[in-house]
Copies of this chain bind each other. A is one copy, B any other.
């Protein structure tokens, strides 16, 4: 067998685990900055502190690394949305979601940019995931929000566009950081500002 690394037969060794993580971390850095086409194996290798052939010992190729990263991302990316509890207090649940999303954007900006890059490029490698994983969750949570509106617990608005606006406003702080860094003086750049503003924005929208 060419390389055992590809998930198949037996348990991965200590060193295998370490290096795969090293590579994926380096790849995340590079792919999230330059997109799939713009990233090179040499960049990833250098960032990981390994040689290019060594990287190809652990992964089948450039695309394999990218796909692995995307699969991994899809899990963590959807988690905050799943945590929304239909029987909780609607406004609290939605604001909680906003905060989890904002925290994620600020703590995992590379993941956010990786996602943004993939979508910007037309989601060539991710569309199946979007249909299979995101779409059902999106529909389900849209229905939950709709039910809250029907029950008069929150003001009526389009649930889909509501979710879009939550994604847009939170991810903006990760994806457009290069812009906000220019526009906001350093002392105004803390999380508090964004967090307080988004609270205000969505509380006003949702309060009946």
Binding site for B on A (CB under 8 A): 33-39, 113, 116-117, 119-123, 127, 130-131, 134-135, 138, 155, 157-158, 160-162, 164-165, 167-169, 171-173, 175-176, 178-180, 182-184, 188, 193-194, 196-198, 200-201, 204-205
Chain B residues, Cβ within 8 Å of A176: 116, 119-120, 164, 167-168
Name the prevailing secondary structure of the A interface residues. Answer: helix
**Once the chains bind, are A131 and B204 in contact (CB under 8 Å)?**
no
The answer on a CB contact under 8 Å between A175 and B120 is yes
- List B contacts of A198 (CB < 8 A): 161, 165
The answer to whether B38 touches A183, judged by C-beta atoms less than 8 angstroms apart, is no
Q: How far is the CB of A189 from the nearest CB of chain B, in Å?
A: 10
What's the nearest-Cβ distance from chain B to residue A148, in Å? 16
Q: How far is the CB of A149 from chain B (nearest CB, A)?
A: 13
CB distance from A56 to the nearest CB of B (A): 21
- Chain B nearest CB from A89 CB (Å) reads 19
Given B120, B183, B194, which contacts A135 in the complex, CB threshold below 8 Å?
B183
Beta-carbon contact of B193 and A161 below 8 Å: yes
21 contacts between A and B (CB under 8 A): A34-B121, A35-B38, A37-B38, A116-B176, A119-B176, A120-B120, A120-B176, A121-B178, A123-B182, A138-B183, A157-B197, A157-B201, A158-B196, A160-B188, A160-B193, A162-B197, A164-B172, A165-B197, A165-B201, A167-B172, A204-B205
